[in-house]
Copies of this chain bind each other. A is one copy, B any other.
Amino acid sequence: MLKTKRITAILDYVQRKHSVSLDDLVKEFNVSKNTIRRDVQELVDQKKLQKVYGGVSIPRPLTVPYQDRKIQNFKEKEIIAELAADYIKDGDIIFLDSGTTTGAILEFIKNKSLTIVTNNMDFTLDATPYPQLQIYGTGGVFERSTRSYVGMDSAETIAKYNFNKAIMATTGLSIDKGFTNSSPLETQIKRNAMEKSETIFVLADHSKFDRYSITTYGYFDEIDYIITDREPPKHYIDAASEYKNHIIYPK
């Protein structure tokens, strides 16, 4: 195998796995650890990868708060994201709401052919290596805390698109208060996205149940799927059958 080919393959592999050990790479590419080190070094020099003790990962020159949030309940978010990814098909035009749970889905859909509209800057960044993903950003004021674009510009841009699926995030849900979020600036964006989408998915890990934030952006009768990481409390199952929602969780 050509060295250059191997190096691009390594980059690809790491991007797919997010981070891998050197031993993994040795096994995968059947060359010595020494060689892997040298290859990795080249990619590091090109700023394509980052070394971590014992392996490599993709570089994330991100500011702290978002990074931290990403790690919280990471396992649960991955489970949810993988379940949700099953519903995404080639050719879909999806709205991908800003959030850490929704962001995890990229990993599972990156090889599909999709049009993704998002107000989150990191999603655009993360999707860059995958040319099958056509990315539309919404404009607007950049909000540092959520690393997303908010405000009327963003909402107006979204109102012009038609989605067949909307993947929504939430900071809390309850049966009477519906789906809530903590940034009023984002509410209009979410409303517009929901109104223009055929099917609406809400991704929420178990910690989000029976909690609520300042603004409500939707109610149970407006959405189609709730995807979570474990069996929810019984009253949600009941509510779901009343409102004809599908609640999806690992069996």
What secondary structure prevails in chain A residues at the interface with B?
Answer: mixed
A184 at the interface (CB under 8 A from B): no
Within the oligomer, what is the number of copies of this chain?
Answer: 2
A232 at the interface (CB under 8 A from B): no
- Which of chain B's residues have a CB closer than 8 A to the CB of A68? 46
User: With the chains together, A142 CA to B131 CA distance in Å?
Assistant: 11
Q: How large is the interface on A (under 10, 10 to 19, 20 to 34, 35 or more residues)?
A: 35 or more
Q: How far is the CB of A128 from chain B (nearest CB, A)?
A: 6
User: With the chains together, A63 CA to B154 CA distance in Å?
Assistant: 26
Could you list 17 further interchain pairs (A-B, Cβ under 8 angstroms) beyond the known A134-B142, A139-B139, A139-B140?
Answer: A2-B19, A2-B53, A2-B54, A2-B57, A3-B52, A4-B52, A5-B18, A5-B19, A47-B67, A61-B125, A63-B129, A131-B144, A134-B141, A137-B140, A137-B149, A138-B139, A139-B153
Q: Which 7 A-B pairs have the closest CB atoms?
A: A139-B139, A135-B142, A139-B157, A4-B52, A138-B139, A2-B55, A137-B149
